[in-house]
Structure 1
């Protein structure tokens, strides 16, 4: 029986499907843990496959290669260095499990399977995995360690079973995506399981972006007395070695690093930067291009892109038309200069006139309306896509959640693009983040200090500039009103009567609800974007396009 244990927590950034690359990361991390004298190194959930693998994990060839990688890693443990706990898909007979494998002495010594498979929000694990049996602890170098996997600690039964079968401490590998309130939820959840079991708990989370999801890390260790022993950094890869001692009342983790966890606008900004950076890099784009209009949305996206990728990898293009104001031209240029990006101007007068002339006979005897306005937007979209095709940079789209919700966007126009960093940010939050970035230099970003978004962009009334003197509020209610109604409808699924009770006009609420429903077909064709809230469009909120329901109460 040992009385001391040194455990390395590997808070790393895997890539879904890159089994070879993830294995190499694991080998290098184990080497680092060995130099630090660790007895055991722990990796996040499904690390070998990357999380979440979705239907990719159903491919027999993928399952086989993941298993081979685990065996290859296990063979390395014959050197007498640290043992390994690592997540991987694991096939046994006709069942496929979300597993954690214990590797030591050159072999796979034990496996534990995830019991609670989440099937809500962004999660759809019962689609691809089988439910495992309630687990017992694993004997790891003389210590009985319980290994509940992620969702297994959201309910009391798995930890209760581990405690009743002799677990002495809990190591919890996770693939837990970020949203506004997730960190506090995780901490409170861990506290409940510790109170119920009396066991200390190490919560290990991955970091990084995967399609729309972004993982913040923020791993931590709580002792049985609920004291915080370790708090790892968010948004950063790191391997942290923790020291554990067996005392008369049980195992205790020595006090270690306790990093400050960003909150509010800082956390949201860093989440968006990380999601954008990993989407571009993991998909091997050389950089990004975007239309810089002189408005707040494209300015914030440009700042995020520079902070994520560096100014040398961001190309901004102004696409003016006869309705583009001199202020917008000046503001776009000033923003590009402040960020240090390449900036080009491509007027769209000729293509817009060309399309209009081509349609003149067909549109004869009709009134000019949003059709002609959308030709401007679609001309811009075509030009930006041509630039993307020619030079290989991914086109970023710049619509905020208010516009995406209300359908205030043009299909095949300003919705063109491969990724939208601000898709899950309401307009009011866009303004806040722009002002916040001007006043702060976030840790780990690649952009410049100081004012990167000219103040006039933040303070002037928003406008699509598709007709003379146009303002967003000509078509939409003020954003502070619109955003509150939308948040009630989207995030909280509130009945109309309850939204009216908050002080909103009933007719306006019905109008906004209708706009939300009838624009579903646009959202189905929209680019993916960083998930930041508990109800993003795409993975969380799944509504039918054909929908005859309206809340008429």
Structure 2
């Protein structure tokens, strides 16, 4: 279970109502299949040993004894199986009947967890047969053994730090005060639910929302196993709607009416990171019995996938909605800054590249919201040694097409004079050569802003800030950075969305050509008129860096885990050695360049990952990367 992944299974055996021997055979068969798949948490439906639809047969001694014998058979069958297994059956204690989950491991019955919420409305009449389970764990004598019995029991598995499993049964999740809430507060990171939820029109979507929202609210994994084919259809139909969820996301979901077995790998480390991050999640295990469960540590074979572009929704409709929402957040943030300062003009340095194009589009949108004329936006292009005709032409087309005021300040002479002042050889294309241009551009923009009484709008994006790919006190600085919360992989889609929805063919053509232009700071002279300095050749592909950034900051993953997931997500696109090279570069730059983020200009947060020192990333500028790089070097 390396890197915190535990494989769970939700199974629906084909049963016969009240035929406990047959049902035990089906349960054992399904259990064997799940064990072969590597499942460590195996969940069967509510009352599956007898069937949920037995009705008054639950009161028959013959059925209850048959259920006990079947459970003994099933428990013995678990011997040698390295899994925590949950099976439902009716069980009598002190003259009352309980709807329970028997919890099994390696040939033993670890505990009985009773259903806490007994429904008696609509098609349900469980109060006729069952009593509500008690919270505090007590013992019940079963087959000569004293077994814990109660709802407040957790199962702590030692193979993964933090893996604790709690159990609830069907209606419990529908109740206003769910047992799962108490379980999670007590430390459960996985909740299992043995269910027999019948099917009615529209109930499946509500049920799925319930499972998703519960896993999100409790920051846990949730394994839901439901009764299906084999239950009586005298009045109801059961469809085997099995689900496995993690923190608001459905990892696996069964096809209904097929008794389909499903599997999913729940990431315990990610859940623990999320709980650590959210200080409002407070744990209190008072009143709980915690039963230790030994499992062998092994690497879980992953069937779940990880999006190579975690910042970009793959579905077009969701992506378009996301783009519109981000543009609104950016422009509203800028709008507020203008309302506060009383400024009426803006200054944007435009290069013909993606970031400055997005910044200009956002500024235009903000000015339209404010009712300010677009000509008050001063679009400044500042060609120098590395500027190509393509980017220059696009900058010159973009500004007037949007209705802004275009001005050109050629900085060649100023930079050349600066080289003379500081003794820089213009033939030496080192970092001084490059940064002198970036700082000159920033000086020009700042001074023009003073002249016209406006604000300099920053263009740098979050991916550049993460890598420190910005000139300190150059393009690193502005009066408001609208792109500071937007990763590079998303910038492209924002510009594309604007192009597709602008209803201006001339503007659309310019934006599409900007999208087709290689990402470059254009600080080195072009070769044969073409861009000679391509950013991704120097710092690495931004799609890799955004992948690293997301899973490091948002999920708290360690380098070895990120590398493992990147190899899977980018298989066939990048060789393992290439991924490892840029992962090493990412960690080195991320730690070295924190000082640039520590004095970051104001700008709006737009997603769940941000690098502002005043918000999400309170990190010292002189923190050491030793631990992270040592792990990368060991890969």
Q: Is the 8 A contact 1:404 1:423 kept in 2?
A: yes
Deviation at 1:437, TM superposition (A): 1.0
Q: Distance in 2 between matches of 1:450 and 1:327?
A: 15
> Aligned partners of 1:279 and 1:188: how far apart in 2?
36
CA distance in 1, matches of 2:380, 2:349: 5
Paired with 1:461 and 1:416, the residues of 2 have a C-alpha distance of 23
Deviation at 1:495, TM superposition (A): 0.5
Q: How does 1:266-285 map to 2 (within 5 A)?
A: 266-285=324-343
Residue 322 of structure 1 and its aligned partner are, at CA, apart by: 2.6
Match of 2:365 in 1: 307
364-373 vs 411-420, greater mean Cα deviation: 364-373
CA contact (8 A) 2:419 2:425 kept: no
Any idea what SS the aligned residue of 2:620 has? coil
1:293 aligns with 2:367: no
Structure 2 partner of 1:543: 619
Q: CA shift at 1:435, angstroms?
A: 0.3
Q: How far does the alpha carbon of each residue in 1:389-429 deviate from its partner, in whole angstroms, 9 at most, with x for none? A: 11111001100111111011001211221111111111110
1: CA distance between counterparts of 2:599 and 2:512?
33
Counterpart among 507, 514, 521 of residue 457 in structure 1: 514
How far apart in 2 are the matches of 1:320 and 1:523? 27
Residue 508 of structure 2 is aligned to residue 438 of structure 1 = no
**1:200 counterpart residue number:** none
In the alignment, the residues of structure 2 paired with residue 473 and residue 267 of structure 1 have an alpha-carbon distance, to the nearest angstrom, of 28
Other-structure match for 2:594: 520
- Once the two structures are TM-superposed, the CA of residue 528 in structure 1 deviates from its matched residue by 1.4
Select the residue among 453, 478, 483 that pairs with 1:422.
483
Q: Aligned to 1:375, which of 436, 439, 443? A: 436
Counterparts in 2 of 1:3-82, with a 5 A limit? none
Q: 1:264 aligns with which of 304, 312, 322?
A: 322
Give the direction of change, closer, same or farther, for the CA distance of 1:261–1:357 in structure 2 (3 Å limit). Answer: closer
How many equivalent pairs are there?
300
In structure 2, distance between residues paired with 1:366 and 1:463: 20
Q: Contact 1:285–1:393 (CA<8 Å) still a contact in 2?
A: yes
Distance of 2:401 and 2:437 partners within structure 1: 27
CA distance in 1, matches of 2:603, 2:624: 28
Tell me if the contact between 2:438 and 2:475 (Cα under 8 Å) persists in the aligned partners: yes
Task: Give distance in 1, aligned partners of 2:381 and 2:398.
Answer: 11
CA distance in 2, matches of 1:325, 1:309: 30
Task: Summarize deviations over 1:464-515 as a string: whole Å, max 9, x none.
Answer: 1100211112312122222112222232221000111021633321210110
Instruction: Structure 2: state its 5+ residue gaps.
Output: 1-180, 183-208, 219-317, 369-373, 526-531, 568-575
CA contact (8 A) 2:462 2:487 kept: yes
> Aligned ranges for residues 63-462 of structure 1 at < 5 Å?
263-310=321-368, 311-360=374-423, 368-440=429-501, 451=508, 453-462=510-519
Shift of 1:526: 2.0
Aligned partner of residue 288 in structure 1, secondary structure = strand
Q: Is the 8 A contact 1:434 1:458 kept in 2?
A: yes
**SS of corresponding position for 2:508:** coil
Alignment partners' CA distance in 2, 1:449 and 1:274:
26
Is this contact kept in 2: 1:299–1:453, CA < 8 A?
Answer: no
Change (3 A) 1:464 1:450: closer
CA offset at residue 441 of structure 1?
5.0
Q: 1:301: how far off?
A: 0.7
Answer yes or no: is the 8 Å Cα contact 1:324–1:465 preserved in 2.
Answer: yes
The whole-number CA distance in structure 1 between the counterparts of 2:598 and 2:338 is 21
- Distance in 1 of aligned mates of 2:509 and 2:362: 10
Q: How far apart are 1:330 and its partner, in Å?
A: 0.6
Please give the alpha-carbon distance, in whole angstroms, between the structure 2 residues aligned to 1:532 and 1:324.
31
Runs of 5+ unmatched residues, structure 1? 1-155, 158-183, 194-259
Distance in 2 of aligned mates of 1:471 and 1:262: 28
Q: RMSD of aligned C-alpha atoms?
A: 3.2
> Could you tell me how far apart the structure 1 residues matched to 2:333 and 2:406 are?
24
